Amino acid sequence: MAEASKGIKNTQRDINISFMNELAQIFHLMSFDTNNVLEVAQNKWNFLSFKPGLVGGHCIEVDPFYLAQKEQENGCNPDLILAVRRINDGMGEYLSLQIIKLMLKHELVVKDAKILVMGTTCNENCSDIRNTKFLEIIKHLNEYRVKTTIYDPWANHEEVLTEYDITTTNTRPKQEFDMLILAVAHKEFIETNLSPLKH
């Protein structure tokens, strides 16, 4: 009962975030600002406040699969749960492609472009890197042969190197970059003027 309860709670969050992710893609095609639309929607007292984003971590990404497995073992088809996982698992590739399109739109040379990726943890203001999704962005950006620097004041850079074979820094870089990617909304990033890092 306890495990089922936990699985339901995390799967419910997964479902709500996937809905926001799908809406964000639709609104992007319609040239709507997703944050503005969600802000207006919150005028309804019972609106569930979720935002689009990468879904990683030790629980919310894993528990839906446990629940789906139990459904299958008992003769049910976990159509919704697996569809939700596909949407959320595809966000890294989707965001990477949007970043490349944005660079081309602003006539930035993609190859060898200097990109700062800010954040490696699975949630803001924490050091947990388990099942983090920033890797998906790095993986797909590297296909375009950009030069990424990864900065996270919360994550242990030795742990990231050991776990994912990726070099990161805990210290704010002093060089300028062609593009900044806010992968995790740490308070240091939100409360700091990032303009000196841009060309």
Where residue 75 falls (left for φ over 0; alpha for ψ -120 to 50; beta otherwise) is left
Q: Are the beta carbons of 181 and 148 closer than 8 angstroms? A: no
Stretch among 1-10, 92-101, 114-123, 167-176 having the lowest mean pLDDT: 1-10
Q: 85 is in which domain, residue-wise?
A: 2-89
Out of 60, 89, 118, a domain closes at: 89
Same domain, 72 and 12: yes
Same domain, 186 and 141: yes
The pLDDT value recorded for residue 58 is 78
Q: DSSP string spanning 177-192?
A: BSEEEE-S--HHHHSS
Segment 53-70 shows an average pLDDT of: 86
Percent of the chain's residues with pLDDT above 90: 76
DSSP helix/strand/coil, 122: coil
The pLDDT value recorded for residue 199 is 63
Q: How many structural domains are present in the chain?
A: 2
Domain with 122 in it: what CATH number?
A: 3.40.50.720
| Rg of the chain in Å (alpha carbons) | 18
pLDDT in tens, 120-161: 998 899 999 988 888 889 999 999 999 999 999 999 999 999
Across the beta sheet with 114-118, the strand order is 147-151, 114-118, 179-182
44 pLDDT band, cuts 50/70/90, is: very high
Exactly one of 59, 76, 122, 126 is catalytic; name it: 59
Catalytic residue at 122? no
Same domain, 42 and 121: no
Segment 27-45 shows an average pLDDT of: 95
Same domain, 105 and 73: no
Residue 4 has pLDDT above 90, yes or no: no
Residue with the larger pLDDT of the pair 33 and 6: 33
